[in-house]
Structure 1
Amino acid sequence: MATPEPTPEDLKRKRTGRIIAIVAVSAAILFLALVVIQTQEHPRTDDASVRANFIEIAPEVSGKLTELPVKDNAFVKKGGLLFAIDPRPYEYALQQALSDQEALEQQIIDAKRKIAAQSSAAQAAKANVHTSTTGIKTASSSIDLAKATVVRAQAAADAAKANLTLQTNNLHRIEPLLKKQYVTVEQIDQANTTVRVAQGTYDESEAALLEAKAQLDEAILRHEAAGAAAAESEAKFGQAIHTIDTVDTLMSERPAKAAKVLSAQLDLERCKVVAPFDAYVTNLNISEGAYAHPGAAMFTLIDTRTWYVIANYREAKLRHIHIGSHVDLYLMGHPERRFSGLVESVGFGVFPEDGKVSDGLPNIDRTLNWVHLSSRFPVRIRVENPDLDLFRIGATAVTVVR
């Protein structure tokens, strides 16, 4: 049976079908090429996650929790109270520190008064030393005067003795001549009178000598007494000088007392902890009445002021990513919302898979992989218009660099 020849209409339909197929394939190829070019020029990845800074909140003082107004996963404003610790022990400590500081100031005042009195006593002792020194000088002058008087009295006594001896010898020479009437009775009486006058003069000079020696002894005693008084005054002055206290020791305690007051005030202030910034509370697993320990984390605050997306891009795409490049961001949970971001930094290092070291030398595997996977480097993108109700740390994101 012979095959019927195709009609002109069949040929036209086949021709039209081929043209449509060619156009469709060409359009698909063109679209694929455009996609590839777009992907190369504007790298995108879904290997990205939302990040934000966070801090663990830990008390700096210990005590019982009296207030805990925050709730888990709740939003808190900057300056809002996070928790409060029983402040009574720290109030007592502050009062004690203030009392100790005031007691020290009173001790300093009393010490200054005592020092003033001791200084007056030292000045008086110094004046006594000066008086005693003057007394020694006066006593020394009296001794010199008394010695001179003794010398004069001794000379007068010696002269009187010599005169007495002379007059006595004269009397003894002329007395035998009276019997022979070579001399008169009047001459004998006159000689006796002269002897008696010489004897009186001698006795008087001896008495003057004894008085001068007594005065010398008295002057020496006064000098010794003045020396003893001067030594006593010197000793009292030295004792007065050494007994003068100083406030240096007490003054040196001022910084320590002030530091204790400041430390007590700081501990009291630390009984109330407020939010340092707008944040979300998370990982809260305690209640009022719990005992807080210094340094033990109680919960975490997520800083909502700045949000980031860490996108891991293949190393071949990094040449199209620059600091300051605009990025379109999409959250996996809300793909209909587009957010804007800016590239802040590009990572410069990741841990290599073949980075093993053995005994100080690189440990290289003997195997060779025929398929090489390119490394991914983290790109830090700052979100410019985050929605605090949608952004969560760890949420999956899609990024497109423009």
Structure 2
Amino acid sequence: MKRYLPALGRSAATILIVVAAAFVAMWLWQHYARSPWTRDGRVRADVVRVTPDIGGLVTAVAVRDNQQVKAGDLLFVIDQPRYSLALAQARASVESARATLNQAQREARRDLALGNLVAAETHEQNVARVATAQAALAQALTSVQSAELNVSRTQVKASVNGTVTNLDLHPGDYVAAGQQAMALVDADSLRVEGYFEETKLPSIRIGAPVTVELMGEPRLLHGVVESISAGINDTTRSNAGNLLPSVDPTFTWVRLAQRIPVRVKLTQVPADVRLITGRTATVTIQPNAVARPAPARPAPSPSAAPTPTPAASAKVR
């Protein structure tokens, strides 16, 4: 019996090692294949394409590359003298139209005072001239408003809080209306987007806590799942000329899971961590977790009915 003990010990140790290895392999497979985490994450932000409404020479640039700005800060100035002259011309047109209207009204009142000495056709012509002069004055006033608007548009200002990036605008450059002149990264829209395999989507819930690890940053960021993308591009399908779908007939034996963007709203970001759009991140989501709702406020208990006084009881009787 004693000679079998070493063999039994070795067998038991082997079995324990195999069982432990199986548990470790199962845990690793569960962690890497099923748990909702991905190293394919990116810092994203909305990029505002600063585009002037008017064209002209750039006379001044008030910002530098990679400068942080607030909404309403001046970015650059377009040729103001030309639009100021257009405004002065529009105001002169208003004065001319107003003088023409006053003259037409005086003539109409004079002929009206003469009564039957003036033909009815002349009265009708006077009314028409007054109406035409009024319309011309209204048009001139509209031109003044348009010129004032153009003068205000010569100062291009930031529409959001953000950072100017890739600045390539200098005094003396000519910008056209509707042509992009500057890029502004919206600081209030900074977020993280993780691209998860579709097999991990059943474990992802809106509001679930998220841990984000930026490449090169020792500290972790925290956030919550804000939304899941509603669709991605299908590269195997295209539209033909007859509006019917054209599907690629090839089929691969190895089917890779598609990557679905999951948007993460950051809730805790250290002040010294630089959120730069395009940075790589590792995103880990707590599976099947949702944000805890705020505890409901208890409903007020109904107040006890007042005890009737003896006088009131006597009245009831």
Question: Shorter-chain TM-score: what band?
Answer: 0.7 to 0.9
Q: Identify unmatched segments of 5+ residues in structure 1.
A: 1-5, 126-235
Change over 3 Å in CA distance of 1:251–1:308 after alignment to 2: same
Name the CA distance, whole Å, in 2 between partners of 1:310 and 1:43: 13
SS of structure 1 residue aligned to 2:169: coil
Is 1:401 the counterpart of 2:285? The answer is yes
Match of 1:50 in 2: 43
Candidates 294, 298, 303, aligned match of 2:186: 303
Counterpart residue identity of residue 330, structure 1: E
Match of 2:253 in 1: 370
Query: Considering only CA atoms, is the larger Rg found in Structure 1 or Structure 2?
Result: 1
Name the CA distance, whole Å, in 1 between partners of 2:68 and 2:12: 62
- Of all paired residues, the percent bearing the same amino acid is 28
Is the 2:84–2:151 contact (alpha carbons within 8 Å) kept by the matching residues of 1? yes
Paired residues, what number? 280
Alignment of 1:3-402 (within 5 A): 15=9, 26-38=19-31, 42-121=35-114, 123=115, 125=117, 236-238=118-120, 240-242=122-124, 244-245=126-127, 246-334=129-217, 336-356=218-238, 360=244, 362-365=246-249, 368-386=251-269, 389-402=273-286
Is the 1:79–1:277 contact (alpha carbons within 8 Å) kept by the matching residues of 2? yes
Name the CA distance, whole Å, in 1 between partners of 2:259 and 2:6: 55
Name the CA distance, whole Å, in 2 between partners of 1:36 and 1:102: 83
User: 1 or 2 for the larger relative contact order (CA 8 Å, sep ≥6)?
Assistant: 1
How large is the RMSD of aligned CA atoms in angstroms?
Answer: 3.0
Counterpart residue identity of residue 322, structure 1: R
Q: Identify unmatched segments of 5+ residues in structure 2.
A: 287-317
Name the CA distance, whole Å, in 1 between partners of 2:179 and 2:121: 60
CA drift of 1:51 comes to 0.7
Name the CA distance, whole Å, in 1 between partners of 2:131 and 2:37: 73
Change over 3 Å in CA distance of 1:243–1:53 after alignment to 2: closer
SS of structure 1 residue aligned to 2:254: coil
SS of structure 1 residue aligned to 2:39: strand
Is the 2:237–2:245 contact (alpha carbons within 8 Å) kept by the matching residues of 1? no
CA drift of 1:345 comes to 2.0
Name the CA distance, whole Å, in 2 between partners of 1:66 and 1:93: 18
CA drift of 1:44 comes to 0.1
Name the CA distance, whole Å, in 1 between partners of 2:62 and 2:119: 71
Is the 1:306–1:383 contact (alpha carbons within 8 Å) kept by the matching residues of 2? no
Moved beyond 3 Å, runs of 4+:
17-42, 236-246, 356-364, 385-389
